[in-house]
Amino acid sequence: MTKKMHIALTGCLLAVILLAVAGCQQPVPEIMACITADPTIGYAPLTVAFAASCTYVPPERAGVYDYHWEFGDGADASGRTAIHTFTAPGTYEVFVMVGHLNMGEWDAASSAMRVIVVLPSP
């Protein structure tokens, strides 16, 4: 085996070892957003208290996160908790996004959805 072949073979072997080691690293657990709502059904106007305190943030991702709510009727809010009044009957998909606001751009780490049903007044 020539010296050049030995160097090339050593380089290839090193690359294979580095790829194998990189593939063995544990992935960082994901953030899992969660919504609680009370109540989830009722007559219009319906005021609902929302919370995202059940959101799971693994220790590897600990930090300060922003919470952005969209209520499905054009309104939104921020914070870990929110209170919103639905004035019109309908079925609303409420979303919370957990992430960071970076230079005006939303960088979502996770989101969750909850359905709220607002019935016509009796």
**For residue 100, what pLDDT is reported?**
78
**Would you list the domain boundaries of the chain?**
36-119
pLDDT in tens, the chain (122 residues): 555 444 444 544 454 454 455 555 667 678 899 999 999 999 999 999 999 999 998 888 888 889 999 999 999 999 999 999 999 999 999 999 998 767 667 677 899 999 999 999 98
Distance CA 116, CA 91 (A): 6
Q: Is the peptide bond before 45 cis (omega within 30 degrees of 0)?
A: yes
Cβ(52)–Cβ(82) below 8 Å: no
- Which of the 8 DSSP states describes residue 61? G
**For residue 9, what pLDDT is reported?**
45
**For residue 20, what pLDDT is reported?**
53
Distance CA 92, CA 39 (A): 13
Half-sphere exposure of 79 (CA within 13 A, CB side): 9
pTM: 0.74
The two structure tokens encoding residue 34: 């969660």
Domain formed by 36-119, architecture: Sandwich (2.60)
